[in-house]
Structure 1
Amino acid sequence: MTRLIASLSALLLMTAAPLADPTADYAANCQDCHGANRLGGLGPALIPETLGRMRGPDLGVVIRDGRKATQMPGFGEVLSEEQIDSLTDFLKQPLSEVPEWREADIAASRVVNEEYEAVENPVWSSDPMNITLVVETGDHHVSVLDGDTFETLNRFPTPFAVHGGPKFSPDGRFVFIMSRDGWVQKYDLYALQEVGRIRAGLNSRNIAMSADGKWLAVANYLPMTLTILSTEDLGVAAVLDAKGKDGTPSRISAVYQAPPRESFVLALKDVPEIWEVFYGKNPPQFGFAHDWRIEGPVKNEDPFPVRKITTPDYLDDFFFDQSYEYVMGASRSGEGGQVIDLVIGRKTADLDLPGMPHLGSGITWKRGDTTVMATPHLKEGTISIIDMKTWKTVERIETLGPGFFLRSHENTPYVWADVFFGPNKDVMHVIDKESLEIVKTLRPVEGATVAHVEFTKDGRYALVSVWEDDGAVIVYDAATLEEVKRLPMRKPSGKYNVWNKITFSEGTSH
């Protein structure tokens, strides 16, 4: 009798609590917003490449309780804990195959703001060159600040999970913003209106603007392509498959522009190569046909010829010298780095950079009779200072933990360095550019993540992010290091001053 009752109880439990079927649960509850293939729609892509970049609550908690300031509802009353756990595991699994996202798919995703009206002059009276954008990741918005008064001129929604720095047109009027899901948004700062957006990839790393302002390059992890867009109308100019010389497909780690070379330079994550993609009218002839995507002379009908340079190691991020002749690169999995000469197409020096350097946040400044480059490290509390004539490390500055961002300005004697990881994440170091000593350690908000600095056009003020949902941008006097103002923000991350970015100001990463 006891066994019968136990069996009946178990049967009732099985009937009351449905068995976990994550595929069915996803189709019933998730795909309308996140797409049948998990690649995103109204909501973001639910794949490891995207989920791994999102800072915030545990995925299972978000499924159960929803997420504030978004359209994500909670499913705690619809799905059992077992179903939520199973669905969480399902979403963390990589896709079984690399999805296609070609020219036709990209073009079909293009959305134009029908209400957009161009204006001849800004609708505000601020200095157009001193406008600063603040990316607020807490609710996926950007605030437009007057760099003199710090008044908020506008606050507009962005695609979900903005990633990489926004890029300004050479005149500073338009800004292009990319999300981790590959959406590229064009926004008119003069009119304070969105112009339109297009999905250039499915999982993207960053964007780069050509020196002439005509082209925007989008580096994609998925589907392993470089998409080139026309900045005028967000039309698709080209989609280049990222395949090494031997045909091996690869994700793209990063892409940046090299203005004097009229090219984009990009690093492949899965193949030991860097590429130079030329957009100018007269790309240089190097005499090495095997280095090019097309054989023989460059043809007029191929507007974006590609030069492929083999490197001794894989590169995850990189940095240029002032002439854009040399690329300083490093692999996240390796120790140290390498210098690649773009003119001759080969390595010319090694860099002593242990502890996973974050070269994407590197900055330079003149020190004595040379120029130095500084980079934080993601695995240790160190900032390395490198002489860019000899490529030797001249100093290692010990910090209170691994950092992520460095910033400076030509009109300030200081470098600002955050401690992004570990127990001292609330620290901001201020370092003298000549003595290379820490002159002050700021703790603006005890226990809060303090990160990323941007300067106003003249370098008079430094803006620091309190990277929390109820955070703020703190304005400091860059000379006295005293706090001037606090601007409440929703998890502010990067800040981008128009003048500093379009002029490649000293101390600003590019």
Structure 2
Amino acid sequence: MNSLTKKATWGAALSALILIGGPAVAGPEALYQENCASCHGENRLGGTGPALIPETLKRMRGPKVANVITEGRAATQMPAFAEDMTADQITELAAWLKTPLDEIPAWGEEQINASRELNPDYVQVNAPVWSSDPMNITLAVETGDHHVSVMDGDTFEVLDRFPTPFAVHGGPKFDPKGRFVFIMSRDGWVQKYDIYALKEVGRVRAGLNSRNIAMSADGKWLAVANYLPNTLTILSTEDLTVATVREVKGKDGTPSRVSAVYQAPPRESFVLALKDVPEIWEIFYGKNPPQFGFAHDWRTEGLAHTDIPFPLRKITTPDYLDDFFFDQTYEYVMGASRSGEGGQVIDLVIGQKVADLDLPGMPHLGSGITWKYGDTTVMATPHLKDGTISVIDMKTWETVKRIETMGPGFFMRSHENSRYVWADVFFGPNRDKMHVIDKETLEIVKTLAPVPGATVAHVEFTKDGKYALVSVWEDDGEVLVYDAETLEIVKRLPMRKPSGKYNVWNKITFSEGTSH
């Protein structure tokens, strides 16, 4: 639901209302179209927000849906509507959202391949059409008008600005050479763009409502996590055709949405976080997958596990885990519990929990980063519900320190050549602040407020770590280029609500200061 336009459009809703004795009364469908459709889609199948149908709301009972409409949702862009709808209207709308659509489109391999669109004007080039350092290219996603700017990381010149599918969601993924980038939208479109040629190659709709994408370490496969339908789609990165569509059901047959998909490069696998069953899935794409614990759809075909395309392993977990972070070896995965009161460490080798994590306040592990700290490595994560950053020892899984901040945060970044960690305060009244933390002392050394009243968020570094790029997350926004040592602004780049920035080198080398 759109917090920016809901009040402006409320007057227009009068044409859809039936006036009875003076007060305006709207049915749930009219209320939805006026207040929800701009984010969740006219057909309820999702847009910038998730699909609002029984298949995606199955774990939210009617009263809980009504509470979210009334109060909004912490740590998201879902606003409160208590001042715009009566309690009865909210109750009716919540009930209506739980009613099935007349028809949900089938979306399997046939439909995905049929949606594929290749750019007839694309011609592959042998070398970049520009003279910049290919490893220091940075992409800036501009959600204000659904574009991406391709920037030279040395001069910050914009080499190209190209349109993306509506509502890009999750970080873009680069191939191992840093030439091609893949971008996903919330409504399931995956776009392939050639950075060397500065041209879109093509796009395909891999799902109806999707969460994120992950690239295989060899660059051959792209996995797409879907809320709707309950599937994981694996695409060929070469031509965007479907390699497989995996229906997601737990060991007991319960269907599940896929919260996220991650790559585990040393294991040659994709790891899935599931929304509706307490399991972790690992899907292997390498030539020699491990020989244990597989569950697959070809069991009756008499195939050896090495002959199974994308063999699957299902690991039962003590709790639902929505958010992941991996250690450097990718043998251990840290998962945040849905209650937001802690987390677990799962050993992927033995397929069991080996430790609990003391992480109250709903940690955002997906934005966690690591760095060397004395004789160990620590991981730090912001919290979505309180003003805290937790620092965890990756050897003992103990909390080293909780750093108090000016409010809940969403993103953290650093660089191996920088002595600082940057952490935003994305949620709450202090969203115009950015904390800079010393890696050795674990103390906040400076709090930046570059644009009073504007949301500042998401830091990315240049290849060498010399500059830090900060988003002013407003429609009439900008990217601020900071000297990462002096913490002074050296350049301002106007942009339309820039969200994430992604440096080729930092991403393909898995820089310790970048979430993976």
* Alpha carbons of structure 1 residues 188 and 324: separation in structure 2 relative to 1, 3 Å: same
Indicate conservation of the 8 Å contact 1:131/1:146, yes or no.
Answer: yes
| Contact 2:340-2:363 at 8 Å conserved across structures | no
Over residues 347-404 of structure 1, what are the superposed CA-to-partner deviations in whole Å (9 max), with x where a residue is unaligned?
Answer: 0000000000000000001111100000000011000000000000010100000100
Superposed structure 1 runs of 4+ greater than 6 Å apart: 17-27, 43-46, 48-54, 56-59
Q: Aligned match of 2:163 in 148, 151, 157?
A: 157
Distance in 2 separating the partners of 1:44 and 1:428: 26
> Equivalent of 2:97, from 93, 100, 118?
93
The correspondence of residues 93-492 of structure 1 with structure 2, limited to 5 A, is 93-94=97-98, 96=100, 100-286=106-292, 288=293, 294-295=298-299, 298-299=304-305, 302-492=308-498
Cα distance in 1 for partners of 2:467, 2:312 equals 41
3-state SS in 2 of match to 1:316:
strand
Inter-partner Cα distance in structure 1 for 2:369 and 2:52: 33
Q: Displacement of 1:13 after TM fit?
A: 7.4
Aligned-pair distance for 1:335? 1.0
Contact 1:44 1:181 in 2 (8 A): no
CA–CA distance in structure 1, aligned partners of residues 367 and 49 of structure 2? 26
Q: Is 1:47–1:91's contact at 8 Å kept on the other side of the alignment? A: no
What secondary structure, in the 3-state scheme, does the structure 1 residue paired with 2:452 have?
A: coil
Whether the 8 Å contact between 2:51 and 2:209 is mirrored in structure 1 is no
**Structure 1: distance between partners of 2:263 and 2:95:** 35
1:115 positional shift: 1.1
Structure 1 residues 18 and 448 mapped into 2: Cα distance closer, same or farther (>3 Å)?
A: closer
- Tell whether the 8 Å contact from 2:31 to 2:93 is kept in structure 1 after alignment: no
Number of the residue aligned with 1:62? none
Letter in 1 for 2:138: T
Q: CA deviation at 1:507?
A: 0.7
Q: TM-score, normalised by structure 2?
A: 0.84
Shift of 1:176: 0.3
- Residues 26-41 of structure 1: pairs in structure 2 closer than 5 A: 37-39=43-45
Q: Is the 8 A contact 1:292 1:308 kept in 2?
A: no
Question: Quick one: distance in 1 between partners of 2:251 and 2:51?
Answer: 32
Cα displacement (A) at 1:418:
0.3
Structure 1 counterpart of 2:440, which letter? Answer: E
Matches within 5 A, 1:489-504: 489-504=495-510
Which amino acid letter does the alignment assign opposite residue 432 of structure 2? D
CA contact (8 A) 1:320 1:326 kept: yes
- Greater mean alpha carbon deviation, residues 105-114 or residues 171-180: 105-114
Please give the root-mean-square deviation of Cα atoms over the aligned residues, in Å: 3.3
- Whether the 8 Å contact between 2:231 and 2:245 is mirrored in structure 1 is yes
TM-score by length of 1: 0.85
Deviates more, 1:312-321 or 1:298-307: 298-307
Q: Is the 8 A contact 1:54 1:161 kept in 2?
A: no
Cα deviations by residue, 1:165-217 (Å, 9 ceiling, x for unpaired): 00001110100000011110001111111111111011111000000000000
Aligned to 1:64: none
How far has the Cα of 1:108 moved from its partner? 1.2
Contact 2:46/2:209 (<8 A) preserved? no
The C-alpha deviation readout for 1:116-147, integer Å capped at 9, x for no partner, is 11111111111110000000111111011100
Percent identity over the alignment? 77
Displacement of 1:45: 8.2
Which string of whole-angstrom CA distances, capped at 9 and with x for unpartnered residues, describes residues 453-472 of structure 1?
00000000000000001111
Corresponding residue of 1:71: none
- Does the CA-based 8 Å contact 2:347-2:353 persist in structure 1? yes
Mapped partners of 1:91, 1:142: distance in 2: 38
How far off its partner does 1:99 sit? 5.1
Return the letter of the residue paired with 1:213. Answer: G
Distance in 1 (CA, whole Å) between partners of 2:99 and 2:115 is: 21
Query: 2:315 aligns to what SS in structure 1?
Result: strand
> Which residue in the other structure is 2:63 paired with?
none
Q: Is the radius of gyration larger for structure 1 or structure 2?
A: 1
Instruction: Provide the rounded CA distance (Å) in 2 between the counterparts of 1:56 and 1:387.
Output: 34
Q: CA deviation at 1:282?
A: 1.1
SS of residue in 1 equivalent to 2:494: strand
